[in-house]
Amino acid sequence: MTDARSPMRNAKGNTLVATLPSRPRRRVARSSTIAVVLATCAALSIPMQAVAAAPQSSSTAADFTLADLAAGKYAQPAPNASTLDTSARTSAPKVDVRLIENSAGQKAVADLTATGGDASSQFLTAATPTAVNLSWASVVGITQYRVVRDDKQIGITSSTSYKDVAVKPGEVHEYRVESILPSADSTIDARTWGASVAVPGKSGTSTSSLQADASARASALAAISTTNIQYQTFIEQDKIPGPPAGCGQYNNPVPLTGPAKYYFGGDNRGFGPSAYPYRTREGAVINWNSGGSVSKNISMGTTHVYDSAGKLLAEKTASASGMSVERLTASTASAVDIRFIARATDPFCTGIPNGINSSFVIHVTNSGTWSIQTGSHRQMPDHEVYISRGSSWATVYQRRYASLACLVASACESANMTGIYGKY
């Protein structure tokens, strides 16, 4: 993958100006916090084109909000007529999509899946045949939020809700809401929420038709039972010459004239989710039927040392003590954050600690979206991340190595992974 230009960041690493890679498309997952924030042009003196100005949609006050939902102001229409009480809710099921009605008699297909659990990550979408209502948790210190539909800005608001009326029944749109940092040096934790929203009413606007739309949407979201994520590092060459220091008895002489005395075996391959071998491999399986629980697997490739004639001199497997896959506490039943850490030292080169060094957080939803909230890695060796719901793998990230010297931290800048997103 061609890497994105490096975006501007504040002291805490939150993105201030988003820049787009050639692939994958930058779509943000729904219902959780993601550190991808666009600052206002005025605050940072950035040219208007830097924030992808787009035609604004018409917007009025939202008809459905998190506050009114928590206050029990919505009902479920007949035949399941009842007051919708979510005030004591501490978590949500895998999928919770219902037809709800407000005091004005308006009916909306509402996705309530992300309205429980951690208050800071709560997000509500409620779609009527003529509008999409978005409502999100407030962020302390943030006074403005940017609303994006299908990768185009449609508004900036000081409220924590937004109503998009430029929609038609049967359309499906990708929304995200980004908190705007007040200044470039702000230390506020930025938040981003997102969702895929289907506009109901294509088959009619009667209660029964809208109930059917709600059921269809719930079924579509529930169709994903597991999500697999695979992260690998590998050396694309067959062999690479050993360094002049840090590898004990296998150091190459300095200066090096002619062929190297020692070579380290590579993986001799290109990118691919099923490609083998590898230097490191980490995997995670999200089980949406068990509340978004995560199982993990970690494995290490074997390191081989050869002489200049290609004779195998030694082999050893690196320790996995610096490898980890962790489900973060902000995760919900429908949106999971996983931190991958890969820190591995060549077992023959203990003088070059953590030659492979990376860390990133990926946000995954059961509706089929993903985003990398934050992440970076040394630019050696090659890195690849893939995601699948069971049928085929989608590419999240691919990057070739920059230089063999990048195994040493001070030799190269780290590659940035923050802000890329897509569907799977």
For the chain, which residues make up each domain, given as ranges? 66-82+91-223, 226-420
* Cross-strand bridge partners of residue 258: none
Burial-class residue 44 by CB neighbours within 10 Å (0-12, 13-18, 19+).
middle
Range among 87-96, 113-122, 255-264, 345-354 rated most confident: 345-354
Per-residue pLDDT, 195 = 82
- Over range 88-117, report the average pLDDT: 81
* Cross-strand bridge partners of residue 125: 111, 134
Per-residue pLDDT, 311 = 97
Ranking 2-6, 23-27, 314-318 by mean pLDDT, the lowest is: 2-6
Position 82 pLDDT exceeds 80: no
In this structure, what token pair is assigned to residue 417?
Answer: 């992974």
0.75 exceeded by the pTM?
no
Position 199 pLDDT exceeds 60: yes
Ranking 88-92, 99-103, 238-242 by mean pLDDT, the lowest is: 88-92
Are the CB atoms for 126 and 109 separated by under 8 Å? yes
Position 115 pLDDT exceeds 70: yes
Range among 128-132, 218-222, 392-396 rated most confident: 128-132
Q: Return d(Cα 362, Cα 144) in angstroms, integer.
A: 25
Amino acid letter for position 34:
I
pLDDT band for 78, please (50, 70, 90 cuts): low
In this structure, what token pair is assigned to residue 265?
Answer: 């075996």
- Average pLDDT score, the chain: 82
Per-residue pLDDT, 93 = 55
pLDDT band for 20, please (50, 70, 90 cuts): very low
Are the CB atoms for 120 and 134 separated by under 8 Å? no
pLDDT digits 0-9 by tens, 262-316: 999 999 999 999 899 999 999 999 998 888 999 999 999 999 999 999 999 999 9
Per-residue pLDDT, 31 = 38
Preceding omega of 253 cis (within 30 degrees of 0):
no
Per-residue pLDDT, 46 = 31
Per-residue pLDDT, 94 = 64
Question: CATH top-level class for 66-82+91-223?
Answer: mainly beta
Per-residue pLDDT, 408 = 80
pLDDT band for 113, please (50, 70, 90 cuts): confident
Q: Return d(Cα 22, Cα 138) in angstroms, integer.
A: 32
Give the three-state DSSP class for 215. helix
